[in-house]
Structure 1
Amino acid sequence: MIRFGVIGTNWITDRFLQAVKDMNDFLLTAVYSRTSDRAHEFAEKYQANHTFTSIEEMAVSDQLDAVYIASPNSFHADQAITLLNHGKHVLCEKPFASNAAEVELMIAAAKRNDVLLMEAMRTTFHPNFTLIRGNLHKLGKIRRYTASYCQYSSRYDTYKAGTILNAFNPVFSNGSLMDLGVYCIYPMVVLFGQPKEVKATCVMLDSGVDGEGSLLVKYDEMEGVIMHSKITNSNLPSEIQGEGGTMIIDHMPAPGHIEIRYLDGRKEVISTMQKGDGMYDEARAFVDLIKQGKKESSINSYRNSYVTATILDAAREKMGLIFPADNQRKPC
């Protein structure tokens, strides 16, 4: 049984705990929140016996083995490093941190303390993503990767009414690229590695974060085209185009239907049915790694998380998007 704590008492933590509720080797024992009332309310809801309003006290507790971090992006690095330094395994929500410098410090802390650190990018553990990877060879030489995640935010109307919530606040290292664009970038890195060049543009909101944007990413013999938005919707699928055919993916963040259309007119459906929430798959992988004594995922590896962070940094530089966290180096 792996005893877990959670940081964050929001909808994403709710979704995570619902996804793992039938996992017989996952036990929620602790909840952190900035306020005692909220921590106790959330702990009671999920029958956790311990609550914390101090990350340091949570880190030294002997009542948990691992922690799922779902706090605002700008808190990820400090919280993860504190936990790692006290021997706790960490599953940290995407994006891993505010920038690549913070990611480096997180990875160094994990290695130094011989514990597991993994980015909670659920897409890459999805059974259908495994099928994407396993069928790429059928496309011939790959020439283009296109991915789109454009979803009108439920918080945007509140923003337009004059209230800036976390999702549109640069203090929390947020915005469309960090929230949604990363779902298109991380799978690209897993599939194709580190690109040679990154170009990016965006629509900047008055709050100081991007509302939507696009990336053009150059590899040696192919390119990636990424669109993301929190202020519009899109119904476009994603594609991987090869010289022998094109793979069409209904929704890259959570692929449900995948079809290859070959040059000769043949069509092949390669997807399978997803059972339950995709967050179960990432949690299952994380718990299995702990039980196997492994300190790094081969899928959501340190390398893949770091390369993704460097792409986010390069895109933000082109966009002129600077976070307060960019001027701070986090202590190990």
Structure 2
Amino acid sequence: MKIGTIGTGSIVDLFLSALKDIDGAECVAMYSRKEETAKPLAEKHKITMIYTDLVNMFADPAIDFIYVASPNSFHFSHTYQALQNGKHVICEKPFTSTVRETERIMEFAREKRLMVFEAITTIHLPNYHLIKEQIGELGPLKLIQCNYSQYSSRYDLLKAGETPNVFNPQFSGGALADINIYNLHFVLHLFGAPQSVDYTANKHPNGIDTSGVVVLKYRDLVAECVGAKDTRSKNFVLIQGEKGYIHVENGANGCRNVSVHLQDQAIDLNEQTSSNLMYYELRAFKDIYDNQRYDRCEELLKHSHSVMQVFEKARQSANIVFAADQQ
């Protein structure tokens, strides 16, 4: 598994750090528009090849996979171009900007017999699997509350009159795309598509959401997903049933500790030994790739597609428009 990366942000640094613990996988090249931007990260992780031309990196026969960690609005084009050049892809969340883009990727990947993965940590975490095992003990479920809030330094730039990519509709930014997407993955991988979706958001004058609440309604269950980049909060997930509840510490993105409360008993569960959450998704992707489990890859893609459908409905309900919507 020879990987070339697109992007030089902190998420790429975490990705490369996790990759060192995956046997049989390594990064052999990095892409950045400017070599000096990529050089510190390349030196840190002992990567000798830096490309400043994507076409040349896509043409490199030594590369099997492309890891896409560019701004959200480029996820589709970079993933599609990689597939056109016969590369498998790991693409950061949110998978794409629109449902149409996701469907085009899925169709093309199937046609070319290539694997595409969305890099969403949540659903691959050992503690998330513990939650799936324990949830039946709660009896009929009624409520889920998810809160993932993280004040962004870029919000200060936004208030100062600048428009960072993460708060720019042209780059498919916003709190829903950047942070609340973890909550959507958490809920939808457990319960599937909801009957209705509503997003109430705090919006900047440029139309982007800086925080908000998504309400997902199922037949007998209501899920509330809070995501904020303009405030801080105690991050958590609470799953409430008639016989008890599950408390997930630190929120859906990390599932750092799971506490199951049944009547007067509380059981703490934790099977995560790596502090780098990306390790678990990379381990899963490597296993799927090594064993040529295209069926498992397809299952994950269908889940990503379901999340993108809810993501798009949520944006529409809050009238959040991306440049990609017009394409």
Q: TM-score, normalised by structure 2?
A: 0.95
Give the % identical residues.
Answer: 33
- Pairs within 5 Å for 1:233-248: 233-248=232-247
- The answer to whether the aligner puts 1:260 opposite 2:270 as a matched pair is no
Give, in whole Å, the separation in 2 of the partners of 1:296 and 1:33: 33
Deviation at 1:29, TM superposition (A): 0.8
Give the stretch that moved more between structures: 45-54 or 5-14: 45-54
1:14 maps to what in 2? 13
1:285 maps to what in 2? 284
- The answer to whether the aligner puts 1:75 opposite 2:78 as a matched pair is no
Give, in whole Å, the separation in 1 of the partners of 2:254 and 2:235: 14
1:5-60: per-residue Cα shift (whole Å, max 9, x none)?
Answer: 00001111011111222323112111111223334454333222322223332222
Contact 1:118 1:297 in 2 (8 A): no
Q: TM-score, normalised by structure 1?
A: 0.94
One-letter amino acid of the structure 2 residue matched with residue 234 of structure 1: S
Contact 2:148 2:236 in 1 (8 A): no
1:295 maps to what in 2? 294
Deviation at 1:63, TM superposition (A): 1.6
Moved segments of 4+, more than 4 Å: none
The 3 A distance-change label for structure 1 pair 298 and 107 is: closer
2:114 maps to what in 1? 115
One-letter amino acid of the structure 1 residue matched with residue 254 of structure 2: A
1:316 maps to what in 2? 315
Give, in whole Å, the separation in 2 of the partners of 1:210 and 1:272: 35
Give the stretch that moved more between structures: 317-326 or 153-162: 153-162
Give, in whole Å, the separation in 1 of the partners of 2:210 and 2:295: 34
Secondary structure, counterpart of 1:301 in structure 2: helix
Give, in whole Å, the separation in 1 of the partners of 2:271 and 2:301: 28
2:304 maps to what in 1? 305
Gaps of 5+ in 1: none
Contact 1:55 1:82 in 2 (8 A): no
Give the stretch that moved more between structures: 241-250 or 14-23: 14-23
Give, in whole Å, the separation in 2 of the partners of 1:139 and 1:69: 39
Secondary structure, counterpart of 1:155 in structure 2: helix
Gaps of 5+ in 2: none
1:265-306: per-residue Cα shift (whole Å, max 9, x none)?
Answer: 222223334323110111111112111112354697111101
The 3 A distance-change label for structure 1 pair 121 and 175 is: same
Secondary structure, counterpart of 1:211 in structure 2: strand
Alignment size in residue pairs: 326
Give, in whole Å, the separation in 1 of the partners of 2:274 and 2:292: 27
1:275 maps to what in 2? 274
The 3 A distance-change label for structure 1 pair 103 and 11 is: same
Contact 2:211 2:230 in 1 (8 A): yes
- Pairs within 5 Å for 1:1-332: 2-250=1-249, 251-262=251-262, 264-295=263-294, 297=296, 301-328=300-327
Give, in whole Å, the separation in 1 of the partners of 2:121 and 2:105: 19
One-letter amino acid of the structure 2 residue matched with residue 252 of structure 1: A
